[in-house]
Amino acid sequence: MSQAFVKEGEEQWLHEVSPTINALTMHLSRENNGVRVYEKRNYFDETSGREIHEMSNGMSYAKDKDGRWEIVD
C-alpha cells in the first residue's frame, strides 16, 4: 500500500496484528485496498511444528514462537 494514502497512526505492521485468523484476514484485506483476502486452506507443518495459513493473496502466514504473524515460504 502506498504510504501516500495512509493517514498518520493508521499503519499497522503484520507482527502487530492480533493472533487470530479473523484479525489477519481483516488486516490483509485493508492492505489490499479493501479487496477481500480470505483463507484458502490451512495445514499443520510437521517440519516447523506450526499451523500454516494459505491466503487468497498468494502468500502463506504462520505465527512465530511469540504468537505474532509472519510470512512463511
Rounded to whole angstroms, how far apart are CA atoms 20 and 43?
A: 15
- Check whether 2 has a pLDDT greater than 60: no
- Indicate whether this model's pTM tops 0.85: no
Taking alpha carbons only, the member of 57, 58, 68 closest to residue 20 is: 68
Give the three cell numbers for residue 5: 494514502
pLDDT digits (tens, 9 = 90+) for 17-65: 999 999 999 999 999 999 999 999 999 999 999 999 999 999 999 999 9
Position 71 pLDDT exceeds 60: yes
Q: Would the pLDDT of 3 be above 60?
A: no
If we measure between CA atoms, which residue out of 22, 16, 27 comes closest to residue 39? 22
Q: Identify the pLDDT of residue 73.
A: 84
